[in-house]
Amino acid sequence: MITNQLLRPASIVVVGASNNVHKPGGAILRNLINGGYCGALRVVNPKETEVQGIPSFGDVKELPNTELAILAIPAALCPDVVEMLASQKQTRAFIILSAGFGEETHEGALLEDRILATVNKYQASLIGPNCIGLMNTWHHSVFTLPIPNLHAQGVDLISSSGATAVFILESAVVKGLQFNSVWSVGNAKQIGVEEVLQHMDETFNPVTDSNIKLIYMESIKDPDRLLFHASSLIRKGCKIAAIKAGSSESGSRAASSHTGAIASSDSAVEALFRKAGIVRCFSREELTTVGCIFTLPELKGKNFAIVTHAGGPGVMLTDALSKGGLNVPKLEGPSAEELKSKLFPGASVGNPIDILATGTPEHLSIAIDYCENKFDNIDAIFAIFGTPGLVTMFETYEVLHQKMLTCRKPVFPILPSIHTAGEEVGVFLQKGHVNFADEVTLGTALSRIVNVPRPATPEIELFGVDVPRIRRIIDSIPENGYIEPHFVQALLRSAGIPVVDEFVSAKKEEVLAFARRSGFPVVAKVVGPVHKSDVGGVVLHIKNEQHLALEFDRMMQIPDAHSIMVQPMLKGIELFIGAKYEEKFGHVVLCGLGGIFVEVLGDVSSGLAPLSYEEAHSMIRSLRAYKIIQGTRGQKGVNEVKFAEIIVRLSTLLRFATEIKEMDMNPLLATEKNVIAVDARIRIE
């Protein structure tokens, strides 16, 4: 529960306030005073009559009614103080800085439980315990530094970790990124990342509220809530980037399938972020760089011009953009020649546009103007400009400032000389701009933003999926574990997934008869062992009855074999689709190239069931091997529409058959006309 007393309190008390600003109770009071808090500010310290110029109360019982209490006292004292303030002083918001709760001991967890019961009883807010606090434009209730520039259109930062929040702020401040609020939720006993996001969604005002949210989280308690409110905010015009730290391997047990071997809790996080439209980051630098990009005008395309006076950074930026699927198109023709004539001899304009180390502020202005007005194949402009210390950069950065105010196309300032030209960069940032000191980090971050899909539609694709029949089949399966091939075939057919004709029998004559009817060549596979290929249980290109009879006899001797499956031999590119059930998240669906490439290359993309057709196509196109799927070097591609359709149908099957805990379709054989499943395994519980 997030109350107005937490966000805009008319009165604040610091319990455990100190004159020593190196203690949390002293530092947080200093920050409140220096931050210009305008309400009634009170302190409780039984050993002092005055703390940092504020008269001190000896006991919380002596306080007048106070809306927000900040506790910087030992953990054991907190429950009684919370009870007193909530019941007798009308306090409806608490920030508990103290550690020593559930993060340390069982006894500490019991203290936390007492506090939670009290705040819930009085419908109060609780931040923490074990946090650095909360700051916004109304009050700076944190005991740490730095305090960034705060204004209503700045960034909202929500962090599980107080220390990490501080380090994120350190990274952001030097880039010029400004903030609206910083939430450190600590143990998140009542208010966690999901609750903050929910509040921001439910109270969102597009005119007055920040539309940029940055998140650092160490666990996802409620994936459904996170998905719902993140995607809702993004649809309302917000931009969200997040780090999820710690990729715990809930599937670290001995995996019994390809999916089990490659799926993990991190796959679920990746799928959740994709479904919500969250930009996933992996470091503080990435997160704050993405946040800075979010403050600039929105990109309308993937084509970039690089204006630089140093060749190396331009080349490295070009490489980073290319790796992320972005373009640095060649600039040529009359406009390019005209631009070249206005620069010093030796300058190049092919893109990157190198105006040379001797290039002037006027040259920078001219180059940007040409990218803005004359080159229609350019969507955004990078301006790389530093100094070896021979000249000052005030004039150059003023040119850049004016261009960023007037250009329709986004201009990305890359000012690497943050020490040598520190004063000039500082003046530039004071004008409300951001700076990207490292071009490769910028290129990587841009790639993440451009390639993230839009939030998925919540509708389930039901066309062609026989849900009642799926339930009848699942309910008729007698026991847990990997199910018999005929059940697998029945489930896939009920979902409208095309499967190859097959026949299973322990009788040689029946297997031979099916092969005669379907026509040679055929494939024979042992039934029983889970990893058929590992035990010699798969034979391809069987061209006659004699060969099939010999393989039948051999494979029936394999341990755990109880029958043989035979299928017509098909040709095509091998694809893979798998799924694994993750607790709290639901089914994670994976796709990629099939056969041995699944585990060897590890090139898979993930989605969270149920999936839309747009999501399925996004998954396919995010694969590094997508060029093979499209067709390359004279080889025909595969039917991407059919591949996406199977992914969607499988995700719908899983939505109505949650008993399925793990499955592989590997391989599917794909041609330019069709995609068909030739081998599948399903494990249920």
- The pLDDT tens digits for 82-117 are 999 999 999 999 999 999 999 889 999 999 999 999
pLDDT of 531: 82
Q: Quick one: 177 and 282 in the same domain?
A: yes
The whole-number pLDDT of residue 262 equals 60
Asked whether the CA dihedral 45, 49, 54, 55 is positive or negative, the reply is: positive
Mean pLDDT across 20-42: 97
Contacts of 89 (CB under 8 A, 6+ apart): 60, 63, 64, 65, 66
Q: What is the CATH number of the domain that holds 582?
A: 3.30.470.20
**Of 103, 132, 161, at which residue does a domain stop?**
132
CATH number of the structural domain spanning residue 377: 3.40.50.261
Contact 194, 169 (CB under 8 A): no
The angle formed by the CA atoms of residues 331, 332 and 334, to the nearest 5 degrees, is: 130
Burial annotation 496-534 (CB, 10 A radius, 16+ → b, else e): bbebbebbbbeeeeebbebbeebeeebbbbbbbbeebee
The pair of three-digit structure tokens given for residue 238, joined into one six-digit string: 């917000």
**Whether 451 contacts 324, CB under 8 Å:** yes
The reported pLDDT for the residue numbered 254 is 38
Same domain, 286 and 313: no
Q: Among 562, 602, 595, 601, which Cα is nearest to 665's? A: 595
- Same-domain pairing of 539 and 581: no
Residue 393 lies in a domain: yes
CB 524 within 8 A of CB 548: yes
Share of the chain above pLDDT 70, in %: 97
Please give the structure tokens belonging to residue 454: 């839009």
Token duo for residue 124:
């109060």
Q: Is the pLDDT of residue 611 over 60?
A: yes
Within this chain, do residues 158 and 277 fall inside the same structural domain, yes or no? yes
**What phi, psi does 58 have (nearest 5°)?**
-80, -20
Q: Is residue 202 part of a domain?
A: yes
Q: Does residue 129 have a cis peptide bond before it, meaning omega lies within 30 degrees of 0? A: yes
Q: How many domains does the chain have?
A: 5
pLDDT of residue 253: 39
Instruction: Please report the pLDDT score of residue 391 as a whole number.
Output: 83
153 shares a domain with 287? yes
Strands 150-159 and 179-184: parallel
Question: What is the rounded distance in angstroms from the CA atom of residue 230 to the CA atom of residue 223?
Answer: 10
* Residue 630 covered by a domain: yes
The overall average pLDDT reported for the chain is 94
Among 553, 569, 585, the domain-final residue is 569
Q: In terms of DSSP bridges, do strands 133-136 and 179-184 run parallel, antiparallel, or are they unpaired?
A: antiparallel
User: Rounded CA gap, 460 and 609, in Å?
Assistant: 9
Domain co-membership, 88 together with 14: yes
180/281 same-domain check:
yes
Paired strand residues for 217? 244
pLDDT band at residue 251 using 50, 70 and 90 as cut-offs: very low
Q: What is the spatial distance between Cα 30 and Cα 472, in angstroms, rounded to a whole number?
A: 67
| Half-sphere exposure in the Cβ direction for 122 (13 Å, CA) | 23
Residues 326 and 405 placed together within one structural domain of the fold: yes
Output the six-digit token pair for 288.
Answer: 């704050």
Prior bond to 345 cis, omega within 30? no
178 and 222 within one domain: yes
Structure tokens at 204: 């969102």
Task: Let me know if 541 is exposed, middle or buried by CB neighbors in 10 A (0-12, 13-18, 19+).
Answer: exposed
Q: What is the pLDDT of residues 404-459, one digit of tens each?
A: 999 999 999 999 999 999 999 999 999 999 999 999 999 999 999 999 999 998 88
Q: Are residues 512 and 603 in the same domain?
A: no
In whole angstroms, how far apart are CA 414 and each of 282, 428, 439? Answer: 21, 12, 7
Tokens standing for 591? 């796709």
Report, as an integer, the average pLDDT of 261-279: 85
pLDDT score of 252 more than 70: no
Name every residue whose Cβ is closer than 8 Å to that of residue 600 and which is 6 or more positions away in sequence.
Answer: none
Q: What is the pLDDT of residues 449-470, one digit of tens each?
A: 999 999 998 889 999 999 999 9
| 3-state SS track over 194-237 | HHHHHHHHHCCCCCCCCCEEEEEECCCCCHHHHHHHHHHHHHCC
C-alpha to C-alpha distance for 214 and 281, rounded to whole angstroms:
10
- Spell out the residues 6+ positions from residue 309 whose beta carbon is closer than 8 angstroms to its own: 354, 355, 356, 357, 358, 359, 364, 384, 385
pLDDT in the model for residue 247: 60
Q: Is 601 part of any domain?
A: yes
CA–CA distance, 429 with 411 (Å, rounded to integer): 14
Per-residue pLDDT tens digits for 623-636: 988 999 998 877 88
Q: Quick check: is 62 in a domain?
A: yes
- Integer Cα distance of 73 and 70 in angstroms: 9
444 CB-contact burial (10 Å; exposed 0-12 / middle 13-18 / buried 19+):
buried
Q: Tell whether the model's pLDDT for residue 256 goes beyond 70.
A: no
CATH of the domain at 111: 3.40.50.720
Domain assignment present for 610: yes
Chain center to CA of 549: 53
Pick from 253, 268, 227, 222: nearest CA to 579: 268
Name the pTM for this structure: 0.90
**599 lies in the same domain as 560:** no
Beta-carbon contacts of 186 under 8 Å, excluding residues fewer than 6 positions away, are: 96, 127, 128, 129, 130, 131, 132, 160, 162
pLDDT tier at 41, thresholds 50, 70, 90? very high
Average pLDDT of 155-181?
Answer: 97
Q: Is residue 340 part of a domain?
A: yes
Using CA atoms, how far residue 652 sits from 28, 347, 467, 644, 676, in Å, is 52, 58, 9, 13, 18
Q: Say whether the peptide bond before residue 610 is cis (omega within 30 degrees of 0).
A: yes
Instruction: Indicate whether 223 and 343 sit together in one domain.
Output: no
Average pLDDT over residues 571-578: 93
Among 132, 163, 183, the domain-final residue is: 132
Domain extent, residue 99, equals: 4-132
Q: Is residue 462 part of a domain?
A: no
